[in-house]
Amino acid sequence: MKFRDDQLPIMQYKGGTMAVSAVPGAGKTFITAQLVCKIIEEKLNKPGKVLVVTYMNSAVNNFKNRISHMLEERGIDSNSDYEVMTIHGLAMKVLQERPDAAGLDENFKVIDDLQKIFYLDNAVKIWRKLGGEKIYRSLLSEYGTKKYDEKSERWWKDFLQISDVLISELKLNGITPEKVEENRELLGNNSIIYILNYIYFRYEKMLNLNGYVDYNDILVLAYKALISDEDLRKKFQQKYSFVFEDECQDSNLVQCDILSIISERVGADNKKRECNLVRVGDLNQSIMGSFTSSNPIYFKQFLREADKNYVMNRAGRSTRNIMNLANSLVEYTVKNHPEKRCREALRYQKIHPIEDVEDLKNPEVDEYGIYAYSMSSWEDVKKRTIEVVKSFKSKHSDMTLAILIPFNSHVKEIAEELRKNKIECDELSSTSSERLKIINILGKILGFLGEPDSPVKFRDLMYEIIEGDNEKKNVIINNITSFKIEDIIKESVFKTTSVCKLEEIDKNIFEDFICKLRMVKDILANLNMPLQELILYIGYELKLNNEDKAILQYVASYVRHKNAENNSMTLDEISQELLDVRSSAFTHICNVIYDIRGYEPVPEKVTVTTYHKSKGLEWDCVFLLYLNNYIYPYSIKGKFRSEHYYFKDEFKNPTAIGKAEVQKLLQNDVCYNPIIKAREEVICEKIRLLYVAITRAKKYLILMAHYDENKKDCPSKYFEIIKKFICENKQSS
């Protein structure tokens, strides 16, 4: 195996701490897997194992497959010499080994995301009844007070998300509800953390009563167990002789501490020796801070302190023109960004082409390959996108193509436009049609079961579950459902001449109608089942894949929890919740389950996804839409989505204020102005997000921005800078 010049020093690693910073497309997964195999081949790990910790479940499977295949190629049967898992999987192993060391019962359970949302929502509702509603109103601005409707759940969903983020922040920093109460005077009367403390207390109480811990607890308790129990600590240190961490720019403090402890080498004299710890990542791809407690400062610190520090700066993914554009964004940010504190958003490391490996080179195209369009409206963007996609696919049918958009709602919108134009696509978002298909089917089945004499609900259900061409399907279903529902269920209508002739339109659709009708009849015959059992029975009848089975089990679990709270759900109520695409509980669960499977782009389908979900993927051609000021702010004086317009100025970013208060409780220095600091962090993360998006493209890149009079929005300053760069370089190429 021949390695590039920037990979060779990494492959010489034998032990100690090593930091590897890898530019997009440098092959960090490849080199990490190769180094793991080399350690195993040379038996450097003996008598222990090599541990690889990565961020996503899908990445776990990718690493396992790569390492296994590489070992097989070398004729080595050593699958027992390594383990690959997420940080939560590792923490669970620690707790299962000695739950008592963390103060847990051996039968402890981990609460899933759906149950967590249910418990948190329940805690918020109790708080509202006990005076929280009045406190909430006191946070509202004059405008917010006029617009507020206590029956509307829109603002309360925001509040639930704020609560979730800040409770996670408290937990990961070891701050209990009791500690918050003890420091009431330090926090002050208008403290966001103190306002949320009752919700935190109720949530913790519900977890304890039911024997649950959440994902944050797992990390914190695993760390405490390793610190407090010497035998447990030694066991894991001896079990894993080398520790690798992938995507370490997305680590939080507790994760870093756990891996540092496990990687320590302890001698016979009980004195600490060197750590065999390798961390691989890219500071310029740190884009998860808005959603998690991750922070790139921990990788920055490791880069300064590691025994060895290498940069993989050669990448073969993109054309030189695309790499030059990404490099220009880095250079502009570091040297010229008007917000001085945002000049550190990107690390000054440039992507270089591959030059030193035979048979490997960067892709090339006959044209410049990068285009930027400024459109007059969002409607024009959609129209232009469809035109360019059609043109591109007609010329390059063998190439993969992706459209990246900021919001899940726009993913669905663009996907619908593509389908209207007979262009096949995959939606990668928490509200994509594929991921929510089983949720929609179940919602429509339960809706019909709640009102079995409704022709509208029956028609909607059959349209959802029958396969085939939409137009032909519509004709057949509309004709059959013009009869009485009871006659259709009895199948007597299929003896009529008019219905029999429908078989001539499409025999497969007609036969599928009869097949699915009999399935619905079987389900109707079991209406006396408890609702959660009925949901599982419906899954059995539908003959689902593993992902969809898991989703139905979550829905059944959700219903069981609702019923346990003496809040029995009717068929119609659960149907409405399932069919509400804004329901964060069900969309989040679908997202988690489908992400485990991973995704591989294919030329036959256009990928439509958000900027965040594109990370880790690559396509021949990438469209970047909505490059506007509102999404990519340039100045701290701009508008920020993280700020809630309906709160008073001093509360408009409660998450930022709450995080600053957590630091106050930890007796750390509180930043100059939490809201301004949060704006700077948003600007920094958005710059990195744009960098990640640009580097997804291999051969072609199309960027679009537009004007929006309603939102008083216009193309981002970054778009204008990129457009200028494209014009200058296109002329010289």
113-127 and 584-597 helices, crossing angle to 10°: 160
CA-wise closest residue to 723 among 275, 283, 370, 227 = 370
Alpha-carbon Rg for the chain in angstroms:
28
Q: Is 89 annotated as a binding residue?
A: no
- Can you tell me whether residue 624 is helix, strand or coil? strand
Portion of the chain with pLDDT greater than 70, in percent: 92
- How far is Cα 708 from Cα 379, in angstroms, rounded to an integer? 10
Number of C-beta neighbours around residue 491 at 10 A: 12
Identify whether 296 is preceded by a cis peptide bond (ω within 30 of 0).
no
pLDDT for residue 431? 47
The pLDDT score that the predictor gives to residue 283 is: 96
33 marked as binding residue? no
pLDDT > 60? residue 269 = no
22 labelled binding-site residue = yes
Distances in whole angstroms, Cα of residue 579 to Cα of each of 167, 236, 450, 570: 29, 46, 14, 14
What does the domain layout of the chain look like in residue ranges? 5-94+217-310, 109-209, 368-427+598-729, 434-594
Q: What angle do CA 13, 17, 18 make, to 5 degrees?
A: 60
pTM of the complete model:
0.82
Q: Which pairing describes strands 370-375 and 606-610: parallel, antiparallel, or unpaired?
A: unpaired
> Which of the four pLDDT bands, split at 50, 70 and 90, describes residue 590?
low
- Mean pLDDT, rounded, for 678-683: 93
What dotted CATH number matches 5-94+217-310? 3.40.50.300
State which amino acid sits at residue 304: R
Q: Half-sphere exposure of residue 290, counting CA atoms within 13 Å on the CB side? A: 16
Question: What is the arithmetic mean of pLDDT over 232-238?
Answer: 95
**Do the annotations mark residue 26 as ligand-binding?**
yes
18 pLDDT higher than 80: yes
Q: Given a cut of 80, is residue 53 above it in pLDDT?
A: yes
* 461 contacts: CB under 8 Å, gap ≥ 6: 444, 445, 447, 448, 520
Which residue is listed with tokens 């259900």? 461
Q: What is the pLDDT of residue 591?
A: 59
Residue pair 275/84 in contact (Cβ under 8 Å)? The answer is no
Q: How many residues does the chain have?
A: 733
Angle at 688 between CA 686 and CA 690, to 5 degrees: 70
- Sequence-distant (6+) residues with CB within 8 A of 584 are 117, 157, 160, 161
pLDDT (0 to 100) of residue 545: 74
Q: Is residue 28 part of an annotated ligand binding site?
A: yes
pLDDT tier for residue 423 given thresholds of 50, 70 and 90: very high
45 close to 241: Cβ distance less than 8 angstroms: yes
Query: 672: burial class by Cβ within 10 Å (0-12, 13-18, 19+)?
Result: exposed
23 among annotated binding-site residues: yes
Q: Which residues contact 240 (CB under 8 A, 6 or more apart)?
A: 48, 49, 50, 51, 83, 262, 263
Q: Which amino acid is at 214?
A: D
pLDDT tier for residue 584 given thresholds of 50, 70 and 90: low
The reply to whether 5-94+217-310 and 368-427+598-729 are identical in fold is yes
Helix (H) or strand (E) holding 275: strand 272-275
Render the burial of 494-518: b for 16+ CB within 10 Å, e for the rest.
Answer: beeeebeebbebbeebbebbeebbe
User: Which amino acid is it at 155?
Assistant: W
| Spatial contact of 225 and 94, defined as CB atoms under 8 Å apart | yes
CA distance 456 to 451: 10
103 is in an annotated binding site: no
- DSSP secondary structure code for residue 713 in this structure: B
The answer to whether 307 and 18 have CB atoms below 8 angstroms apart is yes
The two three-digit tokens of residue 604, written as one number: 């036959």
Which residue is it, tokens 């594929």?
Answer: 434
Encoded tokens for 705: 């921005």
Q: Which residues pair with residue 240 across a beta bridge?
A: 49
Task: Identify the CA nearest to 168 among candidates 137, 204, 134, 139.
Answer: 204
**Spatial distance between the Cα atoms of 19 and 9, rounded to a whole number of angstroms:** 12
Q: Which CATH number fits domain 368-427+598-729: 3.30.70.20, 3.40.47.10, 3.40.50.2000, 3.40.50.300?
A: 3.40.50.300
Pairwise CA distance, residues 337 & 333, whole Å: 5
CB 624 within 8 A of CB 701: yes
What residues form DSSP beta bridges with 242? 50
* CB 639 within 8 Å of CB 630: yes
pLDDT classification of 715: cutoffs 50, 70, 90: very high
pLDDT class of 557 with cuts at 50, 70, 90: confident
Q: Under the phi-then-psi rule, with left for phi > 0, alpha for psi from -120 to 50, and beta for the rest, what region is 403?
A: beta
- Residue 116 is predicted with a pLDDT of 86
